[in-house]
Amino acid sequence: MSTLKVRVDQKKLERAAYVLKCVAHPVRISIIDLLEQKERLTVSQLQEVLQVEQSLLSHHLTNMRDKGLVETRREGKNVYYSLSDSAITHIISCIHGCKNF
């Protein structure tokens, strides 16, 4: 048993736990998936695909922005959302590749 050790740096584990907690909802995972497919989208575009209430979608986007997962950019009347760090998209790849889900 003495040859066992933690293989991942503590800070990396803490960041992973933080990010996983932030995205632990089907709508948020779907938002990440959509923003991976198209670099930036408006709330209206996201709502059209996800078919969820605008207030619920805005709540999730605000939460994700506050946690640093997405960022916004205003252009005229439109606010565009994009991923702050594309590394988060690896979660989608893992879900697609996992046979147990």
Q: What is the mean pLDDT of the chain?
A: 90
pLDDT at position 101, please? 66
Torsion angles phi and psi, residue 10, rounded to 5: -55, -45
Q: Rounded to whole angstroms, how far apart are CA atoms 10 and 91?
A: 20
19-48: per-residue pLDDT in tens?
888 889 999 999 999 999 999 999 999 999
Query: What residues in the chain have per-residue pLDDT under 70?
Result: 1, 101
DSSP-derived letter for residue 8 is S
pLDDT at position 1, please? 57
pLDDT at position 97, please? 82
Angle 90-97/26-37 helices, nearest 10 degrees? Answer: 110
pLDDT at position 6, please? 85
> What six digits make up the tokens of 29?
């995972």
pTM for the model: 0.84
